[in-house]
């Protein structure tokens, strides 16, 4: 395809499509990133087009997360202001998937639930599977794999011939749900089918649906370590082409579980270092957990406890409760201590969000909250928006009831301003 010279809406849409094709071919990210950024910078850009969604997809693969989220926010603003329901649901689903990859599970959960509600009320709802797939992925990490499987059962891939990208996502989401429910063999077959389908479509990207690391980990759990080396080698070859810390860390994780003894532990340490330098917080927590368990097997309980504690803390902050509970269980078994984790969304609020929520529930206006905490009104608004999303509520009036039911007292601030 010839790169267009101008920046008309049609040319920008072509640029964004070219960015996707370039990225999925598995070469180094910079050419695809530059084309995607050029596509989003045109003053003539039509926000209702595919340009921003496709560009955000590429930027997310390259871990250019701020630019990706900015592009999706532009689409969402257009959708709200113009009642473009289909575009709004699609952009929400895409943002949910991106937030999930960053470890922002409460935000991902809120976006996916909203997208499912919107699409479910529309006559075209059955043709848009992405909201349900995004929600299922978050539910698995939240420790609700059975709910994810029920959701996927209503998303049968009868559309796989027409919607090949959605079919790949379906296989990954279903495989992760089956694995979480204890069906390792069933999960392995789904991951391998995902790999076969991607290869048939000539999609060669390590970060887009990394079935290979999932397959390697499942095979290692089943004791089939030598067999795990094949998907690990495949993923490593792809990761070295793309070269971001996220994919290099995943490749080291896959090789680590496929390599016994001290060499495997060293590879898992490499995975932790690479992923800690990436925005993939859940994957970082996962690598810490796997390394901690490997150190336990090798008899290094003290170092193992350090990594298991890190894994549990990271997972808790992300809202990845299934992984966090696994890490805590391993930590306690290794002689460490940590309080129990709960599934309460209040556990996902930061200390500042709790303070702002408590003041708002007590009747304080945004201006008075801002003055009492020495922050801007805009900062208060941002914290409240985050609180609403994490708690699954729509308005200020619901705050007091939610906080009281969880044993959190309302606070009072001087009423120098109202909302």
Domain range annotation of the chain: 349-405
Q: Taking the chain (419 residues) in consecutive chunks of 10 residues, what is each chunk's mean pLDDT? A: 84 92 89 93 75 94 95 90 88 94 89 90 84 95 94 70 75 96 97 93 91 98 96 96 96 97 96 97 97 94 94 90 92 82 65 85 89 88 84 80 65 50
How far apart, in Å, do the first and last CA atoms of the chain sit?
53
What's this model's pTM, rounded to 2 decimal places?
A: 0.83
pLDDT of residue 25: 86
What b/e readout covers 360-395, taking b as 16+ CB neighbours within 10 angstroms?
bbbebbbbbbbbbbeeebebbeebbebbbbbbeeee
| Residue 156 confidence (pLDDT) | 65
Pick the CATH number of 349-405 from 3.40.50.1970, 3.30.1360.180, 1.10.10.10, 3.40.50.2300: 1.10.10.10
Report the pLDDT value the prediction gives residue 337, as an integer from 0 to 100. 79
Distance CA 14, CA 12 (A): 5
The CA distances from residue 204 to 198, 199, 240, in Å, are: 7, 7, 12
- What's the number of CA atoms in the CB half-sphere (13 Å) around residue 173? 31
Do residues 350 and 381 touch, judged by C-beta distance below 8 A?
A: no
Nearest to 46 by CA among 67, 83, 74, 20: 74
Q: 165 burial class (0-12, 13-18, 19+ CB within 10 angstroms)?
A: middle
Encoded tokens for 2: 């010839």
- Helix H segments across 121-221? 130-141, 145-153, 164-180, 184-200, 211-221
Cα–Cα–Cα angle for 349, 304, 218, rounded to 5 degrees = 80
pLDDT of residue 249: 98
3-state secondary structure (DSSP) of residue 158: coil
φ and ψ of 414, to 5 deg: -55, 135
3-state secondary structure of 295: helix
Predicted confidence at residue 201, as pLDDT, reads: 87
Three-state secondary-structure class, residue 362: coil
């Amino acid at each position: 395809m010839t790169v267009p010279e101008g920046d008309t809406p049609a040319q920008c849409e072509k640029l964004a499509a070219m960015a996707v094709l370039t990225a999925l071919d598995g070469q180094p990210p910079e050419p695809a990133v530059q084309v995607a950024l050029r596509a989003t910078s045109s003053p003539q850009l039509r926000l209702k087009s595919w340009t921003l969604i496709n560009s955000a997809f590429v930027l997310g693969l390259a871990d250019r997360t701020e630019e990706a989220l900015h592009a999706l926010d532009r689409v969402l603003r257009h959708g709200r202001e113009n009642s473009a329901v289909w575009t709004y649901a699609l952009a929400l689903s895409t943002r949910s998937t991106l937030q999930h990859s960053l470890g922002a599970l409460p935000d991902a959960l809120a976006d996916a639930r909203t997208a499912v509600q919107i699409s479910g009320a529309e006559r075209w709802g059955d043709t848009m599977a992405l909201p349900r797939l995004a929600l299922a992925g978050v539910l698995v990490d939240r420790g609700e794999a059975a709910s994810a499987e029920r959701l996927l059962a209503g998303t049968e891939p009868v559309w796989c011939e027409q919607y090949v990208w959605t079919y790949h996502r379906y296989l990954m989401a279903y495989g992760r749900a089956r694995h979480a429910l204890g069906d390792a063999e069933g999960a392995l077959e789904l991951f391998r089918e995902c790999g076969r389908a991607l290869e048939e479509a000539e999609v060669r990207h390590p970060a887009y649906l990394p079935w290979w690391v999932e397959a390697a980990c499942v095979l290692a759990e089943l004791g089939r370590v030598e067999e795990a080396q094949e998907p690990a080698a495949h993923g490593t070859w792809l990761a070295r082409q793309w070269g971001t810390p996220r994919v290099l860390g995943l490749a080291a994780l896959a090789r680590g579980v496929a390599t016994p003894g001290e060499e495997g532990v060293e590879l898992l340490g490499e995975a932790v270092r690479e992923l800690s330098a990436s925005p993939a917080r859940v994957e970082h927590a996962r690598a810490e957990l796997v390394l901690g368990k490997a150190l336990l097997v090798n008899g290094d309980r003290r170092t193992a406890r350090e990594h298991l504690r890190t894994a549990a803390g990271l997972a808790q902050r992300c809202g990845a409760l299934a992984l966090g509970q696994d890490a805590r269980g391993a930590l306690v078994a290794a002689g460490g201590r940590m309080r129990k984790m709960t599934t309460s969304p209040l556990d996902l609020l930061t200390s500042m969000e709790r303070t702002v929520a408590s003041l708002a529930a007590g009747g304080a206006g945004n201006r008075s909250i801002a003055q009492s905490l020495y922050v801007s009104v805009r900062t208060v608004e941002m914290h409240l928006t985050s609180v609403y999303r994490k708690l699954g509520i729509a308005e200020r009036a619901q705050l007091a009831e939610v906080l009281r039911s969880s044993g959190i007292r309302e606070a009072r601030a001087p009423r120098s301003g109202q909302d």
